[in-house]
Amino acid sequence: MKRVSPRAAALVLLFAAGWSRAEIPSAYVSIAQAQDVPAKILYAVACAESGREMSDGKIRPWPWALNVAGEARFYSSRFAAYSDLTSELPTQSNIDIGLGQINWYWHRHRLLSAWLALDPYFNLKTAAQLLRAQFDSCHCNDWWIAVERYHAPSDSVSAERRRAEYRERVQRCSRSF
């Protein structure tokens, strides 16, 4: 088993573990406040998107997660995730990256580079911006609709079904902490 560097361990603790049941990690709270997004919803979205089972049996967001054409992959470090990401990008653009599982094809302009996309703070800030944009564009004052549209912004019939399933998954995550 590969050892995790002290910096990596600290980031995982900051983003994924190490708090009492009622708390949301401070990185989520500060990014959510800066983007005017509810911290609990941002954390639940990250949990639904990049969740990984921890040693305590709980699902927590994982900063170095990829989803390559439907296959979830988790890495022990940013370097390992970056290596796989850069080897996949020449032939595969349907890749979701990091805590918020930001899709490379649709949001490359926001992610700027593969390395930056795997920075937990940058990735989470981008996720919060996307969530906020969906909230603003729906003109409905409903964060759960923004959550649905974060996952499937299209108005197609198939997107409607996927949105409802995703909303339930995020709501389950929000009840787990």
Predicted confidence (pLDDT) per residue in 126-168, tens digit:
999 999 999 999 888 899 989 888 887 677 777 788 888 888 8
Instruction: Evaluate whether residue 1 is within a structural domain.
Output: no
Res 4 pLDDT > 80: no
pLDDT band, very low/low/confident/very high, at 38 (cuts 50, 70, 90)? very high
Instruction: Evaluate whether residue 125 is within a structural domain.
Output: yes
65 backbone dihedrals φ, ψ, rounded to 5°: -115, 145
pLDDT band, very low/low/confident/very high, at 6 (cuts 50, 70, 90)? very low
Residue 155 confidence (pLDDT): 73
Instruction: Evaluate whether residue 36 is within a structural domain.
Output: yes
The structural domain count of the chain equals 1
pTM of the model: 0.85
Instruction: Evaluate whether residue 30 is within a structural domain.
Output: yes
We report the CATH number of the domain holding residue 107 as 1.10.530
Please check whether residue 2 is in contact with residue 78, taking contact to mean a CB–CB distance below 8 angstroms. no
Predicted confidence (pLDDT) per residue in 20-29, tens digit:
445 899 999 9
Q: Which residues pair with 52 in a beta bridge?
A: 60
Please check whether residue 16 is in contact with residue 46, taking contact to mean a CB–CB distance below 8 angstroms. no
Domain that holds residue 47: 6-175
Res 18 pLDDT > 50: no
